[in-house]
């Protein structure tokens, strides 16, 4: 197999970023120190939302958000199938049931009308996914959630920096979850954050990420006391100061990186406009964050299968990928929930045709051109 010269995603870490991490390593606090709060404040400011709670990864963020929403055994939570398994897994962590609801075929976002039709007396929350970095149907879903007294959680692990009608993702749902895995826009190695306008929920998540203990080690150290109270069962979902120092620096790069990702997307879209390869639609009012650049292959007009195109691209050194295998089709979900093909036809049809192309801020124009030329040649 050829080595991948152009991966589908890649982190950027500057010398200055590294220096910030080294400084923390030389300080008194390498975890539960001041950098965590500084990182939280910076992300809250960036996402135009009052409170932010940093956690060990995006999945922990989803779990914390569901916990803060009071999700428990017997509850149902509506989720789209076109996502990473973590979205639905977090619902199962709460002993609740993920209810898969189909996506809109032009954007692969959770379809708000179909989601509304899945609501039962057991439904307690909706998780929408800003697939690929396109903001979800926030207005429609918020309205539905309010009408049925549900918590509206946004899995925005793809979408830090996206906007919807001029408002930042983070400020549009009851709670919004970001991930800082290296393939996402900004990284802390592993890391995540939940932003919310609700101070009680933020406090619940702070306790939840710290074993269910109401004070931090630093607060006790400052007060000169050993006494702490565990008031509920939580988890160790803490992020470290080492990671937060990296996150603070990464966030400073984010506006420029978002601009570059949008520029790359414009270039791809323009180059594909004269071909049969169809990029996903971008809706009016949406400012896309482009975690992924996803196209649909014109399979009915092609002699080849997607799998062959995938391997030809890889053999040419281009790291294409497929996001995602619909979650309800994983063996675990089939066994656990009895889900099967036919449950979400739009997601299943899309899955046959989609391909994620390289998208990261250091991707060069000449590499974009090479990806397009190679794909067009392969997919005919």
Size of the chain in residues: 380
CB nearer to ligand PLP: give 153 or 248: 153
β-strand partners of 293: 357
CB nearer to ligand PLP: give 155 or 346: 155
Tell me if 238 contacts ligand PLP by CB under 6 A.
no
DSSP state letter for 215? S
Tell me if 348 contacts ligand PLP by CB under 6 A.
no
- In the complex, least distance from residue 159 CB atom to ligand PLP, rounded to whole angstroms: 9
Report the largest interatomic distance among the alpha carbons of the chain, rounded to a whole angstrom: 72
Q: Residue 184 catalytic?
A: yes
Helix (H) or strand (E) holding 239: none
For the chain, report the end-to-end CA distance as a whole number of angstroms: 22
Tell me if 128 contacts ligand PLP by CB under 6 A.
no
CB nearer to ligand PLP: give 109 or 372: 109
Tell me if 81 contacts ligand PLP by CB under 6 A.
no
- In the complex, least distance from residue 71 CB atom to ligand PLP, rounded to whole angstroms: 16
Give, as ranges, the residues between 136 and 155 that touch ligand PLP (CB under 6 A): 155
- In the complex, least distance from residue 214 CB atom to ligand PLP, rounded to whole angstroms: 25
Whether the upstream peptide bond of residue 324 has omega within 30° of 0, thus cis, is: yes
Q: Shortest Cβ contact with ligand PLP: which residue?
A: 58
- Whole-number Å distance between alpha carbons of 22 and 167: 35
- In the complex, least distance from residue 79 CB atom to ligand PLP, rounded to whole angstroms: 10
CB nearer to ligand PLP: give 84 or 333: 84
Tell me if 84 contacts ligand PLP by CB under 6 A.
yes
CB nearer to ligand PLP: give 178 or 272: 178
Tell me if 186 contacts ligand PLP by CB under 6 A.
no
Tell me if 132 contacts ligand PLP by CB under 6 A.
no
Kindly give the residue spans of alpha helices, DSSP state H, lying in the chain. Answer: 15-25, 34-46, 58-68, 86-93, 112-117, 138-147, 199-208, 217-223, 241-272, 306-315, 331-337, 345-353, 365-378
- Whole-number Å distance between alpha carbons of 369 and 282: 21
- Whole-number Å distance between alpha carbons of 8 and 17: 23
Q: Let me know: does 356 contact 7? Beta carbons within 8 Å.
A: no
Tell me if 292 contacts ligand PLP by CB under 6 A.
no
Q: Let me know: does 360 contact 186? Beta carbons within 8 Å.
A: no
Tell me if 86 contacts ligand PLP by CB under 6 A.
yes
Tell me if 192 contacts ligand PLP by CB under 6 A.
yes
CB nearer to ligand PLP: give 59 or 97: 59
Number of residues that bind ligand PLP (CB under 6 A): 14
In a 10 Å sphere around its CB, with 0-12 CB exposed, 13-18 middle and 19+ buried, how is residue 276 labelled?
middle
Tell me if 374 contacts ligand PLP by CB under 6 A.
no
Helix (H) or strand (E) holding 180: none
| 81 CB-near residues (< 8 Å, 6+ apart) | 100, 101, 102, 103, 326, 327, 328, 329, 343, 344, 347
Give, as ranges, the residues between 152 and 171 that touch ligand PLP (CB under 6 A): 155, 157-158
- In the complex, least distance from residue 213 CB atom to ligand PLP, rounded to whole angstroms: 23
Which residue in the set 11, 32, 87, 101 belongs to the binding site for ligand PLP (CB under 6 A)? Answer: 87
Tell me if 216 contacts ligand PLP by CB under 6 A.
no
Tell me if 356 contacts ligand PLP by CB under 6 A.
no
CB nearer to ligand PLP: give 59 or 374: 59
Look at residues 131, 189, 139 and name the one whose alpha carbon lies nearest to residue 155: 131
- Whole-number Å distance between alpha carbons of 108 and 105: 5
Q: Let me know: does 135 contact 148? Beta carbons within 8 Å.
A: no
Give, as ranges, the residues between 52 and 71 that touch ligand PLP (CB under 6 A): 57-59
Q: Write out the residues near ligand PLP by the rule CB under 6 A.
A: 57-59, 83-84, 86-87, 129, 155, 157-158, 179, 181, 192
User: Which positions are annotated as active-site residues?
Assistant: 184
């Amino acid at each position: 197999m050829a080595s991948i010269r152009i991966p589908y995603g890649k982190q950027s870490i500057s010398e200055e970023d590294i220096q910030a991490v080294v400084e923390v390593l030389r300080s008194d606090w390498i975890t539960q120190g001041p950098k965590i709060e500084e990182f939280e404040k910076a992300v809250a400011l960036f996402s135009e939302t009052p409170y932010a709670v940093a956690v060990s990864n995006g999945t922990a963020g989803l779990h914390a958000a569901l916990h803060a929403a009071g999700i428990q055994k017997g509850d149902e939570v509506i989720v789209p199938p076109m996502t990473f398994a973590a979205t639905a897994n977090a619902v199962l962590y709460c002993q609740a049931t993920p209810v898969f609801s189909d996506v809109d075929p032009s954007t692969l976002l959770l379809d708000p009308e179909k989601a509304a039709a899945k609501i039962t007396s057991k439904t307690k929350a909706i998780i929408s996914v800003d697939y690929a970095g396109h903001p979800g149907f926030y207005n429609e879903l918020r309205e539905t959630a309010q009408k049925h007294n549900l918590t509206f959680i946004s899995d925005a692990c793809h979408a830090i920096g996206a906007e919807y009608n001029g408002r930042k993702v983070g400020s549009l749902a009851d709670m919004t979850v970001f991930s800082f895995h290296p393939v996402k826009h900004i990284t802390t190695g592993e890391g995540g954050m939940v932003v919310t306008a609700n101070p009680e929920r933020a406090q619940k998540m702070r306790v939840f990420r710290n074993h269910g203990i109401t004070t931090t080690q630093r607060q006790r150290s400052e007060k000169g006391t050993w006494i702490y109270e565990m008031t509920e069962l939580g988890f160790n979902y803490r992020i470290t100061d080492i990671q937060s120092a990296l996150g603070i620096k990464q966030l400073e790069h984010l506006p420029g990186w978002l601009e570059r990702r949008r520029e790359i997307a414009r270039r791809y879209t323009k180059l594909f406009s004269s071909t049969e390869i169809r990029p996903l639609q971008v809706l009016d009012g949406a400012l896309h964050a482009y975690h992924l650049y996803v196209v649909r292959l014109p399979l009915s007009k092609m002699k080849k299968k997607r799998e062959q195109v995938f391997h030809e691209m890889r053999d040419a050194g281009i790291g294409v990928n497929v996001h995602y295998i619909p979650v309800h089709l994983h063996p675990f979900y089939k066994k656990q929930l009895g889900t099967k093909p036919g449950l979400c036809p739009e997601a299943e049809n899309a899955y046959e045709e989609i391909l994620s192309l390289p998208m990261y801020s250091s991707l060069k124009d000449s590499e974009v051109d090479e990806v397009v030329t190679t794909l067009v040649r392969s997919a005919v």
